[in-house]
């Protein structure tokens, strides 16, 4: 009934996840990147902010103290622009570079290295007012609104807590001079912003976890979708079963032709059966004519009994030959002595002369 109703009760397969990733459908939290860049920017300002302000002040004092002509030419304007860019670049570009690196690292942490050219194409469907209203008036929109209000309350509570913990310093700030008040206000603002950033980062981690959970829920599959995917990837199960049946029949036919030519069948005793042939005049070593497990092993033993081919039980030898030797290939050196012993036993039972090839020595 659940399958008929289209209930998505199955976990998404790895193939479905890969398809979604190729389309750019991955778990991603914008708040995580914003919170990380806020924290990094505050730490950079606290570390290098004083140097930036000092450098800017030195540049302004130098420019204002230099008396130049009221009109300047193109060369002077270019030199002034170069000086301004060099001064600001030395102070600001490292900060901007680290902020960009923080943003990239946050994105890679969430999605890995992902490039989806189709996501760069404009989607004019988003310009539709009706589509915008549907996005707002929806369960997802309601969840975003609720989470946004929750974030505002958390940020307000964190800011109020930081100010309360330093309320004594705030109360006596009115007695400070202008040169003392400015550093205090900057430090208070940066400290409050840093704690707010930490709170936002923690909330963003929960949001990212929710996005991953929601992504898995969206990718869940019905039983019919699982069957269809399996059919597309591996083929029609009925065709697979038919091919396997044909392969088994072909193996049976080969066994029926080869086993009567064997000199001995080595068994395990019931799970495995290996048919071996050895002609000392034409072969340098015994070869495996046929081998099988389960039903094929039963077929080999039955054919051996019908054609008076001796059956010898040698468990370790049967396991080694079944695992290591392909049909039509010679016995490897490490198993040759054991096979030679079996053949000698069979030849004695038949009253034949025991072959003594060079490799048996």
Share of residues in the chain with pLDDT > 70 (%) = 80
The tokens describing 258, both together, are 């080869």
Q: Check whether the bond before 46 is cis (ω within 30° of 0).
A: no
Q: In angstroms, rounded to a whole number, what is the distance separating the alpha carbons of residues 268 and 289?
A: 17
Tens-digit pLDDT profile for residues 202-255: 999 988 888 888 888 888 888 888 877 777 766 556 666 777 777 677 777 778
Q: Name the more confident of 130 and 325.
A: 325
Q: In angstroms, rounded to a whole number, what is the distance separating the alpha carbons of residues 250 and 242?
A: 12
> Which are the contacts of 263, defined by CB distance < 8 A and separation ≥ 6?
276, 277, 278, 286, 309, 310, 343, 346
Query: Residue ranges of the domains in the chain?
Result: 26-65+76-112+126-220, 240-360
2, pLDDT greater than 50: no
The tokens describing 89, both together, are 């670049």
Q: In angstroms, rounded to a whole number, what is the distance separating the alpha carbons of residues 65 and 68?
A: 9
Strand 264-267 with 272-277, pairing: antiparallel
Q: In angstroms, rounded to a whole number, what is the distance separating the alpha carbons of residues 187 and 209?
A: 33
Q: Which pTM does this prediction carry?
A: 0.53
Segment 82-108 mean pLDDT: 80
What is the Cβ-side half-sphere exposure of residue 187, based on CA atoms within 13 angstroms? Answer: 9
CATH superfamily assigned to domain 240-360? secretion proteins EscU (3.40.1690.10)
Report pLDDT for 132: 59
Report pLDDT for 123: 59
Tens-digit pLDDT profile for residues 7-17: 777 888 888 88
The tokens describing 148, both together, are 């946004």
Rounded CA Rg of the chain:
40
> Which are the contacts of 233, defined by CB distance < 8 A and separation ≥ 6?
15
3-state secondary structure of 325: coil
The tokens describing 201, both together, are 């980062």
Segment 99-125 mean pLDDT: 75
Tens-digit pLDDT profile for residues 300-332: 888 899 888 899 999 999 999 988 888 889 988
């Amino acid at each position: 009934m659940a399958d008929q109703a289209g209930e998505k009760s199955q976990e998404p397969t790895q193939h479905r996840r890969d398809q979604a990733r190729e389309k750019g459908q991955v778990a991603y939290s914008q708040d995580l990147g914003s919170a990380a860049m806020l924290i990094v920017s505050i730490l950079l300002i606290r570390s290098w902010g004083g140097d930036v302000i000092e450098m800017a002040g030195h540049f302004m004092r130098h420019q204002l103290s230099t008396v130049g002509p009221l009109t300047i030419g193109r060369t002077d304007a270019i030199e002034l622009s170069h000086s301004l860019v060099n001064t600001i670049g030395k102070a600001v570009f490292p900060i901007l570079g680290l902020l960009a690196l923080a943003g990239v690292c946050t994105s890679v942490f969430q999605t890995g290295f992902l490039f989806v050219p189709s996501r760069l194409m404009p989607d004019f469907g988003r310009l539709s007012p009706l589509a915008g209203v549907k996005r707002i008036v929806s369960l997802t929109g309601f969840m975003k609104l609720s989470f946004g209000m929750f974030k505002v309350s958390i940020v307000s509570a964190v800011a109020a807590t930081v100010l309360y913990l330093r309320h004594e310093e705030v109360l006596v700030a009115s007695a400070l001079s202008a040169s003392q008040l400015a550093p205090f206000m900057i430090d208070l603002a940066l400290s409050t912003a840093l704690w707010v950033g930490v709170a936002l980062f923690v909330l963003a981690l929960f949001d990212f976890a929710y996005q991953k959970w929601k992504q898995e829920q969206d990718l869940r599959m019905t039983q019919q979708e699982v069957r269809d995917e399996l059919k597309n990837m591996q083929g029609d199960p009925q065709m697979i079963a038919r091919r396997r049946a044909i392969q088994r029949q072909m193996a049976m036919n080969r066994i029926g032709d080869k086993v009567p030519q064997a000199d001995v069948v080595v068994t395990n005793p019931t799970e495995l059966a290996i048919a071996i042939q050895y002609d000392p005049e034409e072969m340098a070593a015994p070869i495996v004519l046929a081998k099988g497990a389960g039903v094929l092993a039963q077929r080999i033993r039955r054919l051996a009994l019908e054609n008076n081919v001796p059956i010898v039980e040698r468990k370790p030898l049967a396991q080694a030959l079944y695992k290591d030797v392909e049909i039509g290939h010679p016995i490897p050196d490490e198993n040759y002595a054991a096979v030679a012993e079996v053949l000698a036993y069979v030849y004695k039972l038949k009253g034949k002369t025991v072959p003594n090839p060079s490799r048996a020595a």
